[in-house]
A and B are shown apart, each in its own frame.
Chain A
């Protein structure tokens, strides 16, 4: 049990010490690794025996709460933070002191955000993270990256301004009720005192939601992410995609969840939340389908995967809303199932998306290209990176025995249990599209067929995160019970109100009602036995000497093609036939994704106006 305040302070101190890496860059490497490793160990210690006392930073109103949910978020931050710092050791070559300073400050901010349950501090920490990640996006300091950083700042600050407006409205209301001071903005206080009410209270919470939803890139506000992450270094893309959009964005869900009592029609509210998730999922995967830039492809995919997280969490909220309406404990099972699924997909996406971004970084480091159509036979040229990317691709595509499958499976189950089979069907289609676009990547960039010299893997500090994250993908894929038992179940317990807890054990109801987690062990056994039978059949054949044909012997093409091994464009490894019926849809999407900030800001404004109208008209 360690006071979370020390974790934040340690990271901030480490950030200032790392400024010395101007003298010798090893100072930054060492102090960064040590501080984040310390934070990871402390977070795990806090998970085993939670810190219960009054935190040091509570004096200025941080209101640190240590429970399953906050520890889960902090664990994600610390794990990926460690990977980012390790990868940076040989990946980042210029401006090291600035890089480490801002990275560590961002991680500190996220660490604070994951533990803090105070509205105003959540806002301040979100702003700190936003502003500190802008110089990281502009790390290379060329015109494109500076443009990306400025775009990012404009959209983010425009959106987070709504949080402040919302807090203002809420504070006005609670000060009328006679509460004052910074501690009256603690989320658990707001939830228990029931001081917010009426249309004004709804408006305040919706405005806060919009601000955080811009971090959690829900559909109309997702536009900043691909532009920002394409120009940033791979580590920063990973930081943005895995932590900024999850940890800084998850208050959007959490605040709505804790303060649902304010709304007159919570079921509709959560349905809107789920629908936004579904739209995000489908639109962004369609956009990803058309990309050729590796990082941009990954960026659109992570927006799309956030859609899954949002659907899972939305079903959590929906189940609770139905539970309060009907009093049926079965809905509590659905709620806990949805939340477990959403949070599981959150951590899974964090793992495999950082793996993919690190892989992209390693490829860029060795080959200096981000264009998929210029990559070829990477599995042969860079074996370790290739295998890691393969594991990541199969995970994100939701192939069984990898972690993405488990959480997606739970999300489909909870969709169906909540009575929304159409959502499940769209989610499966989005998953098929994800699979198709990653098959495109695997086929053209990794398997390929041209003769290429062995480039070799990146240096060892870059290999370690790739190995660790691949292993995590496989562990959570083969044994989801570990994640559910030690990470997700405590997190869900912390979210479900204490009043209903003694009456029901959510874990057993989860298992009974809902299929629970996929019991993988015997499936793996069966597949291994199947592989063995196949091997026996193969051994039964009389000649098993492997002949490798001469590399000069290309397949006979009848002289139709000059070069037998074609590139991605010419062979249409992407399913062109599928693009055809969707071309008009894609054209519309392309027309609105112009890259002009003014248009994006007006999108956000339109979204805000829609939600405000929805509140004022009394729909939610």
Chain B
């Protein structure tokens, strides 16, 4: 019986993730276009792209490693699906959440980047390799600020005994109480770590200022995915669409209080509105920023971002000073 409900939760969260990701990806492109005084695509554009790719010819470059080349996109997709299930849609006691799940989330999100690295290297293309190299640099730079800003809320939860690494506890802690008249969200209590986390998720989703460095079309065609085409590229496209939901949901659960104290359908809606706000912020960031060089990526993330996150980690360890 439990298995059935887990399965039901899994499929519904995949559906939610895909639907929300689709709309937010469309919004991302449309809003960017409006900001740049263009018309922009119609609402069905993301799914139309995927369907078009699905109808294309399937090919493997002759020198590519065939097995890895074909399997990599599926692994990436399934990792994102599992992530969409583990991260609760703003609901406390969500069926997919699980004690000590923050580190699993961190690792699965790294795995989704590793898939790109391995796919790029397996495609036997120079551009793929350069893209893979840049993706690796990105993993290295983002990992440390990301783990610290993930840990800040869990350290802040530490009452008398031990910290908790469960998203569930973090949501529950935020939906009760208040902080100087404001809601008891961690973004108000630990704003610096929230900024670091926002910077990290833009990179994880793959939008500017730093996220598109591995796929810089002006320099290296399409980075790791240069050789990909047809259905396999379609799978990668779906993964990208779903990433829009997964990482903004993670931010909302950690720092924006999930879905608040509303009853069932309302809390998910409130959660999705918050996610949408994150998407708006990300879109604006993407539009107003120029491309950066690859050397800027570790420089910014391992200095500014890391310091922001560390300051709040120290504050959290000292009990919210």
B234 touches A541 (CB 8 A): yes
- A526-B10 contact in complex given A451-B63, A538-B74, A542-B54, C-beta closer than 8 Å: yes
| Cα distance, A334 to B129, chains bound together (Å) | 43
- From B175-183, B256-264, B282-290, B292-300, the one touching the partner chain is B292-300
Contact of A538 with B231 in the complex, beta carbons under 8 Å: yes
Q: Does any Cβ of A come within 8 Å of B212's Cβ?
A: no
Rounded to whole angstroms, the CA-CA distance of A541 and B118 in the bound complex is 24
1/0 per position for B302-321, CB-CB distance to A under 8 A?
Answer: 10000000000100010000
Contact of B147 among A417, A428, A451 (CB under 8 A): A428
Stretch at the interface among B21-29, B32-40, B98-106: B98-106
Interface hits, A509-528 → B, CB 8 Å: 513, 515, 518-519, 522-523, 526-528
Could you tell me which residues of chain B, from 152 to 196, have a CB within 8 Å of some CB in chain A?
154-155, 158, 161-163, 165
Interface residues on B, range: 35 or more
Question: Which chain B positions have C-beta within 8 A of A543?
Answer: 55-58, 230
**Distance (whole angstroms) from the CB of B161 to the closest CB of chain A:** 6
Residues of A within 8 A of B107 (CB): 398-400, 405, 409
In the bound complex, residues from chain B placing their C-beta under 8 Å from that of A541 are 54-55, 58, 230-231, 234
- Contact status A429-B143, CB under 8 Å: yes
Tell me, rounded to whole Å, the shortest Cβ–Cβ distance linking B4 to chain A: 13
Residues of B within 8 A of A409 (CB): 103-104, 107
- In the assembled complex, the Cα of A405 lies from the Cα of B103 at a distance in Å of 10
A441 and B59 CA atoms in complex are apart in Å by 26
Say yes or no: A571 contacts B133, CB within 8 Å.
Answer: yes
CB of A453 to closest CB in B, whole Å:
13
Contact A548 B85 (CB under 8 A): no
A273-292 interface (Cβ within 8 A of B): none
**Contacting residues, chain A, for B295 (C-beta < 8 A):** 577, 580
Query: Chain A residues with Cβ under 8 A from B134's Cβ?
Result: 575, 577
Does B91 make an interface contact (CB < 8 A)? Answer: no
With A447-B122, A515-B99, A526-B10 as given contacts, are A575 and B137 in contact (CB-CB < 8 Å)?
A: yes
A531 in the interface (beta carbon within 8 A) = yes
Q: Which of B58-105 contact A (CB under 8 A)?
A: 58-66, 68, 73-75, 77-79, 81-82, 85, 98-100, 103-104
The answer, yes or no, to whether B268 is at the interface (CB within 8 Å) is no
B133 neighbours in A (Cβ, 8 Å): 443, 571-576
Chain A hits for B120, CB < 8 A: 443
Q: Assess whether B299 is in contact with A581, with CB atoms less than 8 Å apart.
A: yes
Quick check: is B117 within 8 A (CB to CB) of the other chain? yes
Question: With a CB–CB cut-off of 8 A, which chain B residues contact A57?
Answer: none
Q: Is the CB of B144 within 8 A of A425?
A: yes
Checking A435, A444, A449, A544 against B63 with a beta-carbon cut-off of 8 angstroms, the contacting residue is A449
Check A533 for interface membership: any CB of B closer than 8 A.
Answer: yes
Q: Please tell me the size bucket of the interface on A.
A: 35 or more
Stretch from A79-87, A170-178, A559-567, A600-608 contacting the other chain: A559-567
Tell me the bound Cα distance from A533 to B74 in angstroms: 9
Hey, which chain B residues are within 8 Å of A432, CB to CB?
Answer: 110, 139-140, 143-144
Pick the residue among B139, B163, B231 that contacts A417 (CB under 8 A).
B163
Question: In whole angstroms, how far apart are the Cα atoms of A448 and B61 in the complex?
Answer: 13
Please name all residues of chain B whose beta carbon is closer than 8 Å to the beta carbon of A534 when the two chains form the complex. Answer: 73-74, 77-78, 235
* Interface assignment of A159: CB less than 8 Å from any CB of chain B: no
CB <8 Å contact, B126 and A557 = yes
A439 at the interface (CB under 8 A from B): yes
Docked Cα-Cα span, A530 to B18, in Å, equals: 13
Against B, the Cβ 8 Å flags (1 = close, 0 = not) of A579-605 are 011000000000000000000000000
Pick the most buried of A424, A433, A530, A552: most chain B CB atoms within 10 A of its CB: A530
B111-A449 in contact (CB<8A):
no
A447 x B82 contact (CB < 8 A): no
**A538 vs B136: C-alpha distance in the bound complex, in angstroms?**
28
Given A405-B107, A422-B313, A515-B99, A571 and B60 touching (CB < 8 A)? no
- B266 at interface by CB-CB < 8 Å: no
Residues of the A chain whose Cβ atoms lie less than 8 Å from the Cβ of B82? 523, 526-527, 530
7 interchain pairs, CB-CB under 8 A: A526-B85, A528-B78, A537-B238, A538-B231, A543-B58, A543-B230, A572-B133
Q: Supply 14 further A-B pairs (C-beta < 8 A) apart from A419-B163, A530-B82.
A: A398-B107, A399-B114, A424-B151, A428-B147, A429-B147, A449-B125, A531-B77, A541-B58, A545-B58, A547-B57, A548-B62, A555-B127, A571-B130, A581-B298
Q: Which 3 A-B pairs have the closest CB atoms?
A: A530-B78, A449-B124, A551-B62
